[in-house]
Copies of this chain bind each other. A is one copy, B any other.
Amino acid sequence: MKTTLRKIVTEAREVFREHGYDGASMQDLASRVGLKKASLYTRFPNKESLVPEVLALTLEETVQGLPDPNDDWQLTWQTLIGRIEKTLEERQRCVGLHLAYGVTSATPEARAAVCQFFTALREKMAQILRLGGIPDPDAVAADTLAQLEGATVWITTSGDVTPLHRAAESACRIAD
């Protein structure tokens, strides 16, 4: 991927994370990247098309280079949980959640991308739990992700990260 393309997607992620879909401005994005707004449209046909790119990058960064769960599924699980925890703590909001709340039927491709993102993440989590013989891995994965996502409400409102840390700790205890 060309560095400029990657930079656009990385900055678009920050804009979506902070302002949501509707609130994200292409002018703001252009300024951050150091381009004029019109130049963004030589790379991407429209604002909506940024959403799949942002979420694909995020998913890739979250799961790439994880230890092989066939060797040590506990380590894989704890590494994955730790990555999600770290990102949410550093960035305060989850870009996926902000987009999930912000995309509607007016932006069907963005909507589909958000659905895919969470489904893929849950499936990756469930796959690890399955190797560990954890019962009902899909439900456990969904609930674990919900607990982590929900904890961000305390970070955004009061800066309190302890609910997130408890959520991550409790998740790691699944693999004991």
Contact = CB atoms under 8 A, between A and B. Distances in A.
Interface string A142-170: 11011111110110111010110011000
Contacts of A150: 145-151
A156 B117 CA distance: 13
B157 A114 contact: yes
A150 B23 CA distance: 22
B118 A153 contact: yes
A35 B37 CA distance: 36
A156 B100 contact: yes
A79 B161 CA distance: 28
Interface string A20-40: 111100000000000000000
A98 interface: yes
Contact of A145 (B104, B118, B142, B153): B153
A44 interface: no
A100 B153 contact: yes
B157 A143 contact: no
19 contacts: A19-B22, A19-B102, A20-B20, A20-B22, A20-B102, A22-B22, A23-B23, A93-B101, A98-B101, A101-B101, A115-B158, A118-B157, A142-B154, A145-B150, A145-B153, A146-B150, A146-B151, A146-B153, A148-B150
| 8 closest A-B pairs by CB | A150-B150, A22-B23, A146-B150, A149-B150, A115-B157, A146-B151, A100-B156, A142-B163
Interface of A: 18-23, 93, 96-98, 100-102, 104, 114-115, 118-119, 139, 142-143, 145-151, 153-154, 156-158, 160, 162-163, 166-167
